[in-house]
């Protein structure tokens, strides 16, 4: 994959008394709080960076599971893309680090959690027309920004939209792709219940 936006790794710092290097962060730099969610490859926790007291969501992934499922490249692509996106309606990735067994993604914390769960708690499991229009507008603006950056998300669904006090954030860029060329894509990916018609029909797709 071509690397978007002059991709660089998280900066590293040198030990004062040695020539060795260590990651900018380690798990010891964070206080872990409650679990926010669980996925196939790990869990997401509410966390606080000890020095700055900054609140984040820390996604902890198991290396063995990633390797077993052969998704290392997919994770790398997710980090490359999400780290360099900057829009109020896209969940920020502040950085990442790793140790021998885990990979850690430092993400913006969205207080309201998944839009899907919030929607299920509404009367008749639906929003008012006014609120729905507001949320759709926010998602459309985020998608417009992504497409200007030549990024296709490819797994847009209520579970991947987070509600941060009325501000909608697109999250989970695991299936995203950087596609600056004008050619159409053929990969069948995403969540079955939300696949677009062109994927279901076996046709090619683009932004």
CATH number of the domain encompassing residue 85: 3.30.200.20
Domain-terminating residue out of 107, 133, 155: 107
How many whole angstroms separate alpha carbon 177 and alpha carbon 76? 11
Query: How confident is the model at residue 8, as a pLDDT?
Result: 33
Which residues are designated catalytic? 155
Query: How confident is the model at residue 179, as a pLDDT?
Result: 84
Query: How confident is the model at residue 93, as a pLDDT?
Result: 96
Query: How confident is the model at residue 6, as a pLDDT?
Result: 32
Domain-terminating residue out of 77, 107, 137: 107
The answer to whether the annotation marks 108 as part of a ligand binding site is yes
The answer to whether the annotation marks 110 as part of a ligand binding site is yes
Query: How confident is the model at residue 196, as a pLDDT?
Result: 73
Is the pTM higher than 0.75? yes
Domain-terminating residue out of 107, 124, 154: 107
pLDDT < 50 positions in the chain: 1-21
Query: How confident is the model at residue 1, as a pLDDT?
Result: 35
The answer to whether the annotation marks 40 as part of a ligand binding site is yes
Residue 65 is assigned to a structural domain of this protein: yes
Query: How confident is the model at residue 60, as a pLDDT?
Result: 97
């Amino acid at each position: 994959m071509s690397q978007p936006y002059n991709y660089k790794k998280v900066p590293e710092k040198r030990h004062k008394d040695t020539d060795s290097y260590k990651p900018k962060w380690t798990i010891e730099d964070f206080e872990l709080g409650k679990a926010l969610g669980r996925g196939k490859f790990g869990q997401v926790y509410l966390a606080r960076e000890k020095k700055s007291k900054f609140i984040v969501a820390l996604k902890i992934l198991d290396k063995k599971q990633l390797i077993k499922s052969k998704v290392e490249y997919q994770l790398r692509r997710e980090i490359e893309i999400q780290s360099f996106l900057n829009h109020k309606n896209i969940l920020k990735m502040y950085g990442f680090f790793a140790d021998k067994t885990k990979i850690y993604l430092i993400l913006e914390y969205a207080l309201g959690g998944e839009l899907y769960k919030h929607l299920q708690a509404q009367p008749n499991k639906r929003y008012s027309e006014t609120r729905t229009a507001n949320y759709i507008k926010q998602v459309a603006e985020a998608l417009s920004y992504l497409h200007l950056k030549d990024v296709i998300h490819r797994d847009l669904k209520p579970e991947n939209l987070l509600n941060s006090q009325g501000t909608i954030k697109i999250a989970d860029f695991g299936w995203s792709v950087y596609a600056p060329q004008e050619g159409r894509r053929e990969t069948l990916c995403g969540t079955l219940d939300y696949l677009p018609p062109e994927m279901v029909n076996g046709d090619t797709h683009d932004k």
